[in-house]
A = this chain, B = another copy of it.
């Protein structure tokens, strides 16, 4: 079954002063080309997770640009999602992937229902991630153009999981990945496109806050603004090494008296590991009034994170492993310098001296952050360069440009052939 998300329509006009003018011009031009095309964005959830967040920004703007776009969400029983979660893990490289007859049957049955609901109704269908992936095969609708948009890293796939999926996605006109590194080798590379994700500068996470409001939000958590602030925003997850952040901070404090650490985390729905790390952090931090741990259980939402990213002197992103790591762009957009692990999509967003520093060796964290804390003017200059890089490459208008450009491309391509990459 399919459920449609009743999104707002947002004008692109308020973005004029924020984004590169040529991007905006090109987006408007592409939107004119696509006018009249019936477009469907199809995914598996309307809230929670990066995909829903992206669509939540994209779809209202596409509507505001005059496109005839709908956002459909798959409705299915929990066992369907339990299976697609395992498929997702397998595609990301989980060592085991097995599938029962019943699971295949349910996966294809749910997708058949969706395929029947959309057959003949759209000119362009963008299908997100593996849950609704077989819809193209099942719809047997050659009038429409089909784009499979993959938000996860498929480079180190489990062979069984890939074999299961491969035969069900072969017919797409185009495949879109986040980075070239995420593309599975066997895929027809001539149909592969790569769009980096992007941030919405007017979403609650990124919108500019009045300085007095921002300062009140930060002070209210007990963090003081007359002394330097080092912040990490991340899930409480070993891959973000929060305990390592505390070690780095304590070493820095020997030189930078009065330095405060803010650890802002979010806890996921079902993540027992997150809880045990959270407990460890609170134990380690107990009795240290300069370390402030806050989370979605103490009133921290998107706007509070925004305020901290903006008010911090330096942000640390001590990622050991990362997908794209869009939080780096969120941080840089506030002009705050960031010292981050050289992993996943982080080096794409940040280079040494432009936005902050990349770190590969454990012993480099302290000197890199120290350098930024010791020279405020230089830190500000480096942060400013980071903001400009985000403005050019990682704002939602650049993503709109990519997505609309691809749609215009596949639409004008002859039916049933591969699209040039």
Listed in ascending order, the chain A residues whose CB lies under 8 Å from chain B are: 1, 3-8, 10, 46-48, 56, 60, 75, 202-205, 207, 209-210, 213, 216-217, 219-220, 222, 224, 266, 268-269, 286-287, 289-290, 293-294, 296-304
Contacts and interface: CB of A to CB of B under 8 A. Distances in A.
Contacts of A207: 213, 216
Residue from A60, A268, A296 with most neighbouring chain B CB atoms (10 Å)? A296
A327 to B, nearest CB: 13
B216 A204 contact: yes
Contacts of A286: 3, 75
Q: Which 3 A-B pairs have CB atoms at the shortest separation, nearest pair first?
A: A301-B301, A6-B289, A303-B303
Given A47-B294, A204-B299, 18 more contacts: A3-B286, A4-B289, A6-B222, A6-B224, A6-B289, A46-B222, A47-B298, A56-B222, A203-B216, A204-B216, A205-B299, A207-B216, A210-B213, A268-B297, A269-B297, A296-B296, A296-B301, A299-B301
A91 to B, nearest CB: 24
Contacts of A268: 297
Nearest to A224: B8
Contact of A301 (B75, B219, B303): B303
Given A56-B220, A75-B286, A210-B210, A300 B297 contact: no
10 contacts: A1-B287, A6-B290, A47-B294, A47-B298, A204-B217, A204-B299, A210-B213, A268-B297, A296-B297, A300-B301
A48 B297 contact: yes
A317 B222 CA distance: 30
A412 B5 CA distance: 64
Contacts of A303: 217, 301, 303-304
A55 to B, nearest CB: 11
A7 to B, nearest CB: 6
Contacts of A297: 48, 266, 268-269, 296
A150 to B, nearest CB: 23
A224 B303 CA distance: 19
B304 A204 contact: yes
B287 A3 contact: yes
